[in-house]
């Protein structure tokens, strides 16, 4: 069933039917009802390809997911996507996701734009000096970055959490509890967020005249095994840490496993603070959560990011402001004074 058929069925022109369905005012209320009813009855919906061609708008937003050699897909990504997807559905946008080898990433962005597949692009997990900013700035298509670059002079729109402050506060908390040797299980440090977290961690230490110890700082993909191995190895050091700071709750669970296995009691012998993205299958909720954590919902970030990007698309004039969210610091059962 297409527009023409529907129109002739109703003895109306395609113009009127199109207008009736798209809510234009110059069509009789009664006519509109007839049209809408008939469309529903016959399961008519406008062909998206034709609509795209006629309007020049794709009503879709692109996500490029680079797959590195190690083939990891961050569970955080799923959660963010699900938040963004909620907003897209409500606003009538499709999400198109392109999973490509890391090396083809730039081409994937270029193709999306050249083929006019999307009206905007959402960019994930920026690197330190992320080439995608300059790449995408070269086109006139709106894009929004989840996270930031390190160069404030670049002009683009982003949403991020205050990673530095969060990890500074987390480290401060542990220092206040008397901990002096704090193991840091960071994310991969070529990523911007990890660099900022490290900066917060180091700043808190140096503010108390503690030199950051390279032996206590690690960075890697934030897996469970990484948390386990990291803690296990650091606990084997001559002067082992009494507390750990984890960059992801998944890593924190791994850390906890190593702590338990070593026969140490969480919150008594060893303290752990983690960042908590509120992943739905790794909940750290409850009145007194398991982990003391800096917390910020990644799903909420996804929702908001999508809203901001859609605003960028639909009101090109209006200056959409970037947003910096503060993470909550919630005290759980995983921290206590140094013994």
Contact set with DNA (CB under 7 A): 2-4, 11-16, 18-19, 21-22, 26-29, 31, 44, 46-47, 50-51, 53-56
Q: Residue 22 burial by CB count (10 A; 0-12/13-18/19+): exposed, middle or buried?
A: exposed
Choice between 30 and 153, CB closer to DNA: 30
49 lies in the site for its own copies, by CB under 8 A: yes
One residue of 281, 288, 317, 318 binding its own copies per CB under 8 A: 281
Instruction: Give CA angle at 44 (43, 47), nearest 5°.
Output: 135
Count Cα atoms within 13 angstroms, Cβ side, for 164: 9
Give the interface segment with its own copies, choosing from 111-119, 167-175, 210-218, 327-335 (CB under 8 A).
Answer: 111-119
Q: Least Å distance between CB 325 and its own copies?
A: 19
Choice between 117 and 180, CB closer to its own copies: 117
Alpha-helical segments (H) within the chain: 3-10, 14-21, 29-41, 48-55, 75-91, 105-114, 131-137, 163-176, 192-207, 224-235, 249-261, 298-314
Strand partners, 121: 62, 143
| Beta-carbon contacts of residue 110 (< 8 Å; ≥ 6 apart) | 135
Give the interface segment with its own copies, choosing from 29-37, 99-107, 140-148, 151-159 (CB under 8 A).
Answer: 99-107
One residue of 10, 95, 106, 135 binding its own copies per CB under 8 A: 95
Choice between 89 and 315, CB closer to its own copies: 89
Rounded Cα distance, 339 and 97, in Å: 49
Residue matched to tokens 């954590």: 293
Query: CB under 5 to 8 A by kind: which of DNA, its own copies, none does 237 bind?
Result: none
Count residues binding its own copies (CB under 8 A).
63
Q: Least Å distance between CB 98 and its own copies?
A: 6
Q: Is residue 23 classed as helix, strand or coil in its secondary structure?
A: coil
Q: Among 290, 75, 258, 275, which residue's Cα sits nearest to residue 169?
A: 275
One residue of 82, 162, 199, 320 binding its own copies per CB under 8 A: 82
Query: CB under 5 to 8 A by kind: which of its own copies, DNA, none does 97 bind?
Result: its own copies
Q: Residue 23 burial by CB count (10 A; 0-12/13-18/19+): exposed, middle or buried?
A: exposed
71 lies in the site for its own copies, by CB under 8 A: yes
One residue of 34, 117, 154, 333 binding its own copies per CB under 8 A: 117
Binding site for its own copies (CB under 8 A): 43-53, 58, 60, 65, 67, 70-75, 77-79, 81-82, 84-86, 88-89, 94-100, 104, 108, 110-111, 114-117, 221-225, 250, 253, 256-257, 260-261, 279-283, 299
């Amino acid at each position: 069933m297409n527009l023409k058929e529907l129109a002739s069925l109703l003895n109306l022109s395609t113009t009127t039917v199109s207008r009736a369905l798209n809510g234009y005012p110059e069509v009789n209320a009664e006519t509109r009802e007839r049209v809408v009813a008939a469309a529903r009855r016959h399961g008519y919906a406008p062909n998206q390809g034709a609509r795209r061609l006629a309007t020049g708008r794709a009503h879709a937003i692109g996500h490029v997911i680079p797959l590195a050699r190690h083939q990891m897909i961050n569970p955080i990504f799923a959660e963010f996507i699900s938040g963004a997807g909620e907003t897209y559905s409500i606003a009538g946008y499709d999400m198109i996701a392109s999973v490509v080898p890391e090396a083809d990433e730039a081409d994937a962005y270029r193709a999306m734009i050249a083929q006019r597949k999307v009206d905007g692009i959402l960019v994930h997990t920026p690197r330190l000096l992320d080439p995608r900013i300059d790449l995408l700035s070269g086109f006139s298509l709106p894009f929004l970055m989840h996270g930031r670059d390190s160069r404030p002079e670049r002009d683009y729109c982003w949403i991020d959490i205050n990673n530095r402050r969060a990890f500074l506060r987390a480290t401060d908390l542990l220092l206040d509890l008397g901990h002096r040797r704090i193991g840091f299980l960071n994310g991969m440090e070529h990523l911007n967020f990890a660099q900022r977290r490290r900066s917060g961690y180091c700043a808190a230490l140096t503010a108390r005249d503690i030199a950051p110890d390279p032996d206590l700082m690690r960075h890697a993909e934030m897996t469970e095994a990484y948390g386990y191995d990291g803690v296990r190895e650091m606990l084997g050091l001559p002067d082992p840490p009494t507390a750990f700071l984890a960059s992801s709750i998944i890593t924190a669970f791994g850390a906890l496993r190593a702590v338990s296995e070593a026969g140490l009691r969480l919150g008594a012998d060893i303290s752990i603070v983690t960042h908590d993205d509120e992943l739905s299958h790794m909940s750290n909720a409850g009145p007194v959560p398991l982990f003391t954590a800096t917390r910020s919902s990644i799903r909420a970030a996804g929702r908001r990011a999508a809203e901001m990007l859609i605003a960028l698309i639909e009101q090109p004039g209006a200056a959409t402001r970037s947003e910096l969210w503060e993470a909550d610091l919630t005290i759980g059962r995983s921290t206590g004074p140094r013994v």
